Structure 1
């Protein structure tokens, strides 16, 4: 049996089988990725080939970055409006400064 290196040209069906042993990817799926510009294929004598290295690059291009959601703003306590929050934060910060000057910490 021939050893398959990252640069060995493989027919698309074989490449899909080797690179995705659990299934789910087919030669047709690899062709679609090639038309989207994410997979390099070579057409030799009317047959499509790719390499495991090209599939690795395709997988990098297909990665989905995790969404970073902005942190939620704290909800004002019942009876307070959002306009009260900056004043409350300022009051707490001033209390902290005063406590530090006295050598105490607010709990």
Structure 2
């Protein structure tokens, strides 16, 4: 019987960008905070985000809808994603929820 030999590969690519520290957590609650929603317009965000918005607003947060940012997976993805930091700064957003469809 012939001996079979297989090559093993690792599907994980090297990091393309340097790691950066995470943003500080909101330790003092959501009251008075502004929360932005990001969405890739792929899976049921139109159902999920209104429910999440009601819950956040019940805790005193103001919600900035995903429509303000645009589609993070559409034809203008590079521009939309590139603009995220400036939209966050311009709108005074304290935290972001990013919804990614599966």
Higher Cα Rg: structure 1 or 2?
1
Higher relative contact order (CA 8 A, sep 6+): 2
TM-score range, shorter chain: under 0.3
